[in-house]
Amino acid sequence: MTAAPLDTLLVTGFLGAGKTTLLAGWLAERPPHERWAVLVNETGALGIDHALLGGDGPDARVAVAEVAGGCACCAARVAFGATLVRLLRRGPWNRLIIETTGLGHPAELVDQLRALSAASEALSGGLSGRLRLRPPVAVVDASRAALYEDPARPGHAIAADQVALARLLVLNRTAGLDPAAVAALAERLAGLGPWPRPVLSTATGRVPLTDVLAALEDAGPAADGPPALATGAAARATRRLGAPAGPAAPDPGPATPAPIGPASPVGSVARRWPPDTVFDRPALQAALAAMVAADGPLKAHGLLRGKGVFRTERAWYGWQWVDGRSDWQETAWRADSRLELL
């Protein structure tokens, strides 16, 4: 009998943002009948966060393990995989929560978790079923807004990557700050990365897990969930995208115009592929270039804007097109591949 996928939540955020406080609140509200596993990754060698969360206490329904001494995506990569397998062998668990180090690039960790999950069926006595990896959550320190917005600040690149990866932001330490400034910061951070994401605010670092899970459901499907599809005026043109090297992309179906607003004649198309779909980058770039060309198939629809994120064999890339200009940049996004044309 195949085990059900284990609900897995990844929490990221810069050093001191409040990740451990958030997790401690969730552990305090755990339903008594559920068994939870928590894996904490720390840059330092002493494992303080592991101790703050209670370590492996007498409650057999909660296990807290740690990977100290480096980021799980690089220096502690092997130790992370081994610790995760050992932890899951102590299951079955109802939930797995992973707290990343504040100095890590969590996009690589998402890739590693997916690889471990995909390999679980080949591990004799290894992972008990695949991981149902939910979209990541990033904790942001509202009192250090410059860290996320000023490229000259030490740590900015890491903090920005953490925000860009997340599908939900928890804006922490809002007490004493100007409400208008907090609202403006939330709006700016929500717009970072390829797609907007919801923001939950807290003064104390505590947000109920039920609120977080509900917000993630509103933000979109689970990172390893089924693809969602909305067709529009350009749907047929998207069939010409580079043939994926992984699972086949879904058939877009009939190209039915989908107006953006009640009075807008402009059509739109939005497509999403699951995260294990891998695109051939040269073919993808050629297909998109042909699609948005002045004499291309979308000319009659008055294309105004194009953007997308795609997984390729080398890396994940974000694509933006406006006014005849295309731009490609590596991205920390890992939720899925997607395309939107307006």
Q: Do both 308 and 244 map to the same domain?
A: yes
Q: Do both 306 and 183 map to the same domain?
A: no
Q: Do both 69 and 177 map to the same domain?
A: yes
If one counts every other C-beta atom within 10 angstroms of the C-beta of residue 157, the result is: 11
Instruction: Confirm whether 224 is domain-assigned.
Output: no
Q: What's the whole-number mean pLDDT along residues 216-242?
A: 44
Q: Which domain holds residue 62?
A: 6-219
Sign of CA dihedral 284, 290, 292, 298: negative
Backbone Cα Rg of the chain: 21
pLDDT value at 290 more than 90: no
Q: Do both 186 and 290 map to the same domain?
A: no
Residue 170: beta bridge partners?
A: 139, 200
- Least reliable range by pLDDT among 15-19, 265-269, 301-305, 315-319: 265-269
Question: What is the per-residue pLDDT for 48?
Answer: 46
Banded model confidence at residue 105, pLDDT cuts 50, 70, 90? confident
Q: Do both 250 and 112 map to the same domain?
A: no
pLDDT value at 56 more than 70: no
Q: Do both 233 and 163 map to the same domain?
A: no
Which residues does 217 contact at the CB level (< 8 Å), separation at least 6? none
pLDDT value at 265 more than 50: no
- Angle between the N-to-C axes of helices 156-165 and 106-119, in degrees from 0 to 180, rounded to the nearest 10: 50
Pairing mode of beta strands 6-13, 131-133: parallel
The whole-model pTM stands at 0.69
Examine the fold and report which residue of 219, 248, 264 is the final residue of a domain before the chain moves on: 219
Q: Do both 277 and 307 map to the same domain?
A: yes
Instruction: Confirm whether 290 is domain-assigned.
Output: yes
Number of domains in the chain: 2
Instruction: Confirm whether 1 is domain-assigned.
Output: no
Banded model confidence at residue 177, pLDDT cuts 50, 70, 90? very high
Highest mean pLDDT pick, 44-58, 121-135, 219-233: 121-135
Q: Do both 21 and 59 map to the same domain?
A: yes
- CA dist., res. 39 & res. 83, Å (int): 8
Instruction: Confirm whether 335 is domain-assigned.
Output: yes
Closest CA relative to residue 69, chosen from 95, 104, 97, 35: 104
Banded model confidence at residue 16, pLDDT cuts 50, 70, 90? confident
CATH code, 202: 3.40.50.300
Instruction: Confirm whether 248 is domain-assigned.
Output: yes
CATH code, 279: 3.30.1220
Examine the fold and report which residue of 194, 219, 244 is the final residue of a domain before the chain moves on: 219
Three-state secondary structure string covering 220-264: CCCCCCCCCEECCCCCHHHHHCCCCCCCCCCCCCCCCCCECCCCC
pLDDT value at 140 more than 90: yes
Instruction: Confirm whether 133 is domain-assigned.
Output: yes
Q: Do both 154 and 122 map to the same domain?
A: yes
User: 278: exposed, middle or buried (C-beta count within 10 Å: 0-12, 13-18, 19+)?
Assistant: middle
- Residue 257 or 286, more confident: 286
Examine the fold and report which residue of 164, 198, 219 is the final residue of a domain before the chain moves on: 219
- CA dist., res. 258 & res. 231, Å (int): 7
Reported as a single tens digit per residue, the pLDDT across 322-339 is 767 888 988 877 878 888
- Least reliable range by pLDDT among 73-82, 197-206, 313-322: 73-82
- CA dist., res. 108 & res. 237, Å (int): 32
Q: Do both 259 and 206 map to the same domain?
A: no
Q: Do both 11 and 89 map to the same domain?
A: yes
Instruction: Confirm whether 330 is domain-assigned.
Output: yes
Q: Do both 85 and 195 map to the same domain?
A: yes
Question: What is the per-residue pLDDT for 256?
Answer: 33
